[in-house]
Structure 1
Amino acid sequence: MNLTKDIQTKFSKLKINSWCELSLMLPHSYEDLTLKNTIDMGKAQLIDASVESVFRSPNTIQITFYAHNLGHTINGVLFRPKPYMMHQFKVGERDYFYGVIDCKVGNCSMSMPRKISTIGSITPKYKSTLRSDVMLRLVQNNLTLELLKSEGLKEEVAQEILKLHFPTTMINLKELDKKSIDALKYLELFIYMKLLASKRRYFEPLVRVDATYDDWTSSLPFKLTKEQMLTIKDIKNDFAKDVASKRMIVGDVGSGKTMVILASAYMMRKSYSILMAPTTLLANQLFEEAQKYLPNMTTILVTNKTKKIDLSEYDFIIGTHALLYRELPSAGLVMVDEQHRFGTQQRNMLEKLVSSKEKKPHFLQFSATPIPRTQAMIETAHIDVSLITTTPFKKDITSEVIHKNDFSELLERIKKEIAKNNQVLLVYPLVEQSEVLEYQSIDEARGYWEKNFDDVYVTHGKDKHKEEVLLEFREKGSLLIATTVVEVGISLPRLSTVVIVGAERLGLSTLHQLRGRVSRTGLKGYCYLYTNQSSSDRLDEFVKTTSGFDIANLDLKFRKSGDLLRGSSQSGSQFKWIDLALDEDVVRAVKKDLI
């Protein structure tokens, strides 16, 4: 896009980079500079008038006009006039003036009249970092259908947007018609997705692999789900391309992402695969699964405690962030599990460690936080996305909102579960007592549970020994008291019940992650949301829904698309026009047009 220096400067002041972005900067109001022969009470309008008299006092200028178009005398008043205003009104001269007209008992007045040089049109008024007249000229002299089309915007959208900048009738911006709103939604998303796509960079892969996986999947003691298979096929196709792939695999809790990780390592078995997990526990679990289902591959677990050894002797290297401080072989595949638990810098560091000049490894990120379908479609502009929305077996979890008067009944249920050798998790909002919060903290509550139950374990985010506590609880515990530290991580096969205290304080996706801790092996599960609120639509909707992807859409609905693409190019961005909870068809249309 060739811009003159003057326009580049203006774009820079407006913090925009394209004509499409300029077109999204709508007027904040319009002035009707057409002549009418009736008074529109209380509204600004144009008069064709002769100045009959001018009276100056210290704080006002009072002018008597004769408005020819209205056949009426009008008294104009300027309050606290600036010096230049004095020269606008000369007795005997006929000109066009603009201001708000009001009439009382036959006397009409115009407040703050001003002289107008161009008439006969409806003129937009802009509020921006540019002066309003400069902004108006920028739009009126430059914004055209051809320019918007040259940036890829489709004609019908561009025409609809231009009507808002070049109106032929007055427009009420608070009551735009559906056509205009749809065009604005499309334009807003088009600009955003185009920006994301421009950030995507392509590199040559360190290795291209035309892999097969049928022999491996058929050797498994269970059948993979259709979506697991489709995701593995996506990855197989990625590995065969001549660009290093970047793909995010988003799967609900218990959807079987581990098998996709193992399938990916299997397909890359002739080169190295590296997997980074956020905790030692998780890395250890993945290592155990790899040993079980990839018996013909040499696998190693790397943590802070692992001795310095030559990692190039292993096909599949699994570790924590300790991997970032080791000498790693140039790997064909890098994977990051629970990617949101690592900073962008850490993820990039791992990729760089195994890259070779301009060549990069294939890069897979796994996330157990389901995202709305609309967001997944948007993300595909800068990274490929696979969604695993089903689970290998249907979990049987009963979810219920409970209150103070349900406590004795809850206690009975907890005792029953422990009697069956099942485990119970109690999640408290805080570790220590708070003046502000009306719920007990772990410190306040633990005494009661430790007195009334055996084998009670306690941990939280600041606990240096939390991994050891969780491991010991898994083997010996009955009741675990914790904060949301257990949201992601260790598998607890005997956990059947979770009680979340102050549930209304947590996001729906966090509640879903916590609920996903129970019933991992087909046990009958229970999730109790304890709240002091008499009613909560959010929690009532949550207990009716079991799919993480439906929860993500609910979350979106309740928080109105707030922090949309966390960790992406516009952290915490808020769309003004598009509502991702409702406008899936718009997202689909923009995605289709951008491909």
Structure 2
Amino acid sequence: MTDLKTLETALIKPKDWEDNHLYPYLLNRPQAFEAEILDIQKSSKITRIKFFLKNINQIMWGVFFVFKKWHEAVFKKGKTLYIRGEIRNNQLIQPKPISRINEITSVYSSVKIKNEIKKHLSFENLKILPQEIAETLIKMHFPTTLKDIEEKKIEYALKWSEIFLYLYKLQNKKKIFPSNPIISEPTPFIDSLPFKLTNDQLKVIKDIQNDLSKPVQARRVIIGDVGSGKTIVMLSTAFMAKKSAIMAPTSILANQIYEEADKYLNGKWTMENGKLFKVVLVTQKSKFTEYDLKNADLLIGTHALLYQDLPKLNAVMVDEQHRFGTNQRAKLEKLTSSGKVLPHFFQFSATPIPRTQALIMSSFVNVSLIKELPFKKDIDTKIIDKSDFKDLITHIQKEISLGNQVVIVYPLVEESQNFNYQSIEEGKDFWLKYFGGVYITHGKDKNKEDILVEFREKGNILITTTVIEVGISLPRLTTIVIVGAERLGLATLHQLRGRVGRYGQKGYCFLYTNNKNNNRLIEILKTLDGFKIAELDLKFRKAGDLLDGKKQSGEKFNYFDETKDLGILEDVKRYIEKNLSD
């Protein structure tokens, strides 16, 4: 049996422990006794046996609700034997005979588990663990004193060992492939920008520069909050990689990145060096030739990239990586590889994650976090209900009069019998009647991208669903109203709120609910930090917060708690890096 298999077995905590020491006093739990049988009384319902319990020097009646034939053979008047039972109301309830005393025995849910542990568990088979943790697990299964089954110590060892096992397996899944080492300096590009990058952006660019310089393929996930400046990190990567591609989930996002790339990669630095950085947009509607594809320094596109004859690239970037399947990401990688030499691979996400999850993920891929924002966001978040509707309308009218835009997010497109909020179909008539420049779209709308573009240029109010969570940049958007807000996770609410005030202007987020006292909604009022909100979201999900009538729990572990055990995780990571890394 391998060390890891043994460790998995060692993590099966005993159901209970039977302490069969002959204590000379009573415990507040089942215990063992040396008992002489003084008398036996039988009735139709119960059997009573009078015992003299020698180790505590007391006479006590034992009560049997079930008294079988084998009991009659064992329990005979005048006989002395060892028994185990629990005392309630000064009588022993259903005591059972025991053959071994003065030891502590672990109790398991099956004989098979008991035999597995007895057969395989040893210090030798747990030598992959720190000695103290291994000792605690061994003693948990084979205790000799009550100190060996101290709950706190066992709980810590189980948490430690469980997350260790998980990280160790993840680490062994890391695959190493050859890639072209690119020695490049991002400073000329960074210096040419008309704004200063944040320290977090600079740190991530340095991480990527270091990745690109190695002859093994980089696999890095870059996670940044809404508005943290991930696009500039992508463009810095493109500049360093010399030949690369960015795949975005929608043509709107691809267009936005293309506009930024064309503006900054062909800005001051290009003029000074007289070298055009060739950027090509690849979507279903964009125009490009085979020559463009082959000679591009940077390809920016949607899924359309997967259906082209792509050149060999030094780096591939995927934006909003969770919106693509594993097969799509793998296909892009394959299309741009040169034989066994793969491009460096960078994935970007705007969904902040808790630190525990980032640390866990980093055992499989490298992770960089962009927490700083280029400017401080100024967004007022308010919980409202139908009594605030009149004030909300006044606010919306004022914002539109200032040339700003408003988004109303409905939970459903069509009416539902089991729903106590309006859908788009039910609510749209009001907005169309009292306001001009109202646009309507949702996830299943085939024309949603065209509608969003037209709204950006001409609209006042957008009626939509959470499709707006990730997507088009709306420079004039200052207000978002989220209907039935308590039905969404905090991370989704934060993403929606992050759509407003993207360019430093004052923003407003209204959480419309029938329950103003919802604890989660009250929590989101306190912070604009996406990473703190991710921690909160995890905390509420672990608590089994009910959304859509289902328990949304990301429970992965039996003992390790992602919301409370960050210290244990950090300790395990240090141990693996020090003792088990190549």
- Give the TM-score category using the shorter length: 0.7 to 0.9
2:171 matches 1:194: no
Kindly indicate whether the alpha-carbon contact (under 8 Å) linking 1:562 and 1:574 is maintained by their aligned counterparts in 2. no
Residue 533 (structure 1) aligned with residue 506 (structure 2) = no
Residues 68-100 of structure 1 show CA distances to partners (whole Å, capped at 9, x for unaligned) of 445566665665567776765577764433233
Instruction: Find the counterpart in structure 1 of residue 247 from structure 2.
Output: 276
Paired with 2:57 and 2:529, the residues of 1 have a C-alpha distance of: 70
Instruction: Note if contact 2:22-2:32 (Cα within 8 Å) is conserved in structure 1.
Output: yes
2:230 is aligned with 1:257: yes
Contact kept? 2:281, 2:288, Cα under 8 Å: no
Relative to structure 1, the CA distance from residue 78 to residue 307 in structure 2 (aligned partners, 3 Å threshold; closer, same or farther) is: farther
2:284 corresponds to = 304
- Deviation, 1:182, is 3.5
Residue 229 (structure 1) aligned with residue 202 (structure 2)? yes
In structure 2, the CA distance between the partners of 1:289 and 1:377, relative to structure 1 (3 Å rule), is: same
* Structure 2 residue 188 is the aligned partner of structure 1 residue 215: yes
Aligned residues of 1:30 and 1:170 also touching (Cα < 8 A): no
Change (3 A) 1:157 1:562: farther
1:489 partnered with 2:467: no
Q: Which amino acid counterpart does residue 303 of structure 1 have in structure 2?
A: T
- For the 8 Å contact 1:49–1:66, the answer to whether it is kept is yes
Q: Does 1:47 align with 2:33?
A: yes
Give unpaired runs (5+ residues) of structure 2.
Answer: 267-275, 546-552, 578-582
User: Does residue 1:35 correspond to 2:22, yes or no?
Assistant: yes
8 A Cα contact 2:139 2:148, kept in partner = no
Residue number among 68, 80, 83 corresponding to 1:97 in the alignment:
83
The answer for the alignment partner of 2:265 in structure 1 is 294
The number of residue pairs the alignment matches comes to 559
Q: Is the Cα contact below 8 Å between 1:561 and 1:575 reproduced in 2? A: no
2:308 aligns to what? 326
Identity of aligned residues (%): 49
- Matched-pair contact (CA < 8 Å) for 2:486–2:518: yes
Q: Judging changes above 3 Å, is the alpha-carbon distance between structure 1 residues 466 and 83 closer, same or farther for their aligned structure 2 residues?
A: farther
1:263, 1:40 → 2: CA distance? 69
Tell me, yes or no, if the aligned pair for 2:383 and 2:516 is still in contact at 8 Å.
no
Taking the aligned partners of 1:496 and 1:102, their CA distance within structure 2 comes to 68
Determine helix, strand or coil for the equivalent of 1:46. Answer: strand
**Preserved CA contact (<8 Å) 1:454 1:478:** yes
**2:491 maps to what in 1?**
509
Corresponding residue to 1:176 among 151, 160, 164: 151
Residue aligning to 1:313: 295
Separation in structure 2 between the aligned mates of residue 288 and residue 544 of structure 1, nearest angstrom: 35
Aligned residue among 364, 367, 378 for 2:360: 378
Inter-partner Cα distance in structure 2 for 1:523 and 1:44? 68
Deviations 1:367-419 (A, max 9, x none): 00011122212211111011000111222212211222211111111111100
Ranges in structure 1 where 5+ consecutive residues have no aligned partner? 4-16, 564-570
Q: Deviations over 1:113-141 (max 9, x none)?
A: 433232211112122xx42xx43344355
The verdict on how the C-alpha distance between 1:398 and 1:64 changes in structure 2, with shifts beyond 3 A counting, is closer
- Give distance in 2, aligned partners of 1:590 and 1:21: 16
Which whole-Å deviations, capped at 9, do the CAs of 1:204-253 have from their partners, x for residues lacking one?
Answer: 11x11111111111111222111111101100100111221100000011
Any idea what the Cα deviations from partners look like across 1:425-467, whole Å, max 9, x if unmatched?
Answer: 1111111112222211111111111100001001111111111
User: 2: CA distance between counterparts of 1:445 and 1:172?
Assistant: 64
User: What is residue 7 of structure 1 aligned with on the other side?
Assistant: none
Amino acid at match of 2:14: P
Counterpart of 1:9 in structure 2 is: none
Measure, in 1, the Cα distance between the counterparts of 2:228 and 2:328: 26
SS in 2 for 1:292: helix
TM-score of the pair, normalised by structure 1: 0.86
Write the letter of the residue equivalent to 1:97.
Answer: I
Matched residue, 2:272:
none
Letter in 1 for 2:231: T
User: Quick one: distance in 2 between partners of 1:85 and 1:356?
Assistant: 78
CA distances 1:481-526 after superposition (whole Å, capped 9, x unpaired): 1111000010111111111111111111111111111111222211
CA distance in 2 between partners of 1:48 and 1:440 (Å): 72
Aligned Cα root-mean-square deviation (Å): 2.9
Q: Distance in 2 between matches of 1:157 and 1:218?
A: 51
**1:53 Cα shift?**
7.9
CA separation of 1:359/1:62 partners in 2, compared to 1, >3 Å: closer, same or farther?
A: farther
- Letter matched to residue 437 of structure 1: F
SS in 2 for 1:204: coil
Give SS of 2:375's match.
coil
CA positional deviation for 1:339: 0.6
Task: Rate the CA distance shift 1:168–1:186 in 2: closer, same or farther, 3 A.
Answer: same
Offset from partner CA, 1:529-566 (integer Å, 9 cap, x none)? 11110312322221221111121122122223889xxx
Match of residue 567 from structure 1: none
Q: Supply the distance in 2 between the matched residues of 1:51 and 1:116 (Cα, whole angstroms).
A: 15
Provide the rounded CA distance (Å) in 1 between the counterparts of 2:52 and 2:504: 87
Alpha-carbon separation, structure 1, partners of 2:375 and 2:353: 21
Look up the SS of the partner of 1:532 in the other structure: coil
Aligned CA distance change for structure 1 residues 102 and 451 (closer, same or farther; 3 Å): closer
* Residue in structure 2 matched with residue 577 of structure 1 by the alignment: 559
Structure 1 residues 414, 242: CA separation in 2 closer, same or farther (over 3 Å shift)?
Answer: same
- Please tell me the residue identity of whatever aligns with 1:255: S
2:212 aligns with 239
Residue of structure 1 equivalent to 2:11: 24
SS of match in other structure, 1:416: helix
Once residues 543 and 212 of structure 2 are traced to their aligned partners in structure 1, the CA distance between those partners, rounded to angstroms, is 34
In 1, the alpha carbon distance for the partners of 2:524 and 2:63 equals 60
Structure 1 residues 561 and 405: alpha-carbon distance in aligned structure 2, compared to 1, 3 A threshold? closer
Distance apart, 1:346 and its partner CA: 2.0
Shift of 1:281: 0.7
SS of the equivalent of 2:374 reads coil
SS, match of residue 205 in structure 2 = helix
CA distance in 2, matches of 1:513, 1:395: 13
* Aligned residue in 1 for 2:117: 139
Which amino acid is the alignment partner of residue 184 of structure 1?
L
Partner Cα distance (1:308, 1:293) in 2: 21
Structure 2 counterpart SS, 1:244: coil
For residues 167-223 of structure 1, give each alpha carbon's deviation from its aligned partner in whole angstroms, at most 9, with x where no partner exists. Answer: 3444798x933x444433322322221122122111111x11111111111111222
Question: In structure 2, do the counterparts of structure 1 residues 366 and 83 end up closer, same or farther at CA, with 3 Å as the change threshold?
Answer: farther
2:280 counterpart SS class: strand
Secondary structure at the counterpart of residue 297 of structure 1? coil
> Deviation at 1:44?
2.5
Contact 1:561 1:581 in 2 (8 A): no
Counterpart position of 1:337: 319
Q: Which stretch has the larger CA shift, 350-359 or 491-500?
A: 350-359
Match of 2:458 among 472, 476, 486: 476
- Evaluate the alpha carbon distance shift between residue 349 and residue 573 of structure 1 in structure 2; reply closer, same or farther with a 3 A threshold: farther
